């Protein structure tokens, strides 16, 4: 009987290790999913590259991402990569901002 428990514990351990070894946090994967379903229609699949309708945004900081999503505008005093273009706000994604940041910060 005790052997059974030991084996169970080992299996649980291996299970946890497996999840961690995949490298990225859950927030990263949530962010990646949103990026690929929403942002991808304008930005590039690879956020380091320029997209069909919008610039590269890899490594954008939390303040910039929040501002773009909530207002469609840059925080005051920030230089726009594409000064002649405008992004529509996507305030329904308010809760996803930290996940998007987690995803975008892993590039660069």
* Interface ranges with ligand HEC (CB under 6 A): 34, 38-39, 41-43, 53-55, 57, 60, 64-65, 68-69, 80-82, 85-88, 90, 93, 100
Quick check: 42 and 52 in contact, CB under 8 A? Answer: yes
d(CA 90, CA 15): 37
Tell the smallest beta-carbon distance from residue 12 to ligand HEC (Å): 36
d(CA 67, CA 89): 9
- Beta carbon nearer to ligand HEC, 24 or 80: 80
- Beta carbon nearer to ligand HEC, 25 or 50: 50
Tell the smallest beta-carbon distance from residue 58 to ligand HEC (Å): 10
């Amino acid at each position: 009987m005790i052997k059974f428990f030991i084996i169970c514990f080992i299996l649980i351990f291996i299970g946890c290790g497996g999840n961690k070894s995949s490298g990225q946090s859950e927030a990263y994967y949530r962010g990646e999913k949103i990026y690929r379903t929403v942002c991808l229609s304008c930005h590039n699949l690879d956020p380091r590259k320029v997209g069909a309708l919008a610039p590269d945004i890899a490594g954008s900081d939390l303040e910039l991402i929040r501002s773009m999503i909530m207002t469609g505008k840059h925080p005051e005093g920030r230089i726009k990569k594409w000064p002649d273009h405008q992004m529509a706000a996507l305030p329904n994604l308010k809760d996803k901002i930290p996940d998007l940041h987690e995803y975008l910060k892993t590039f660069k």
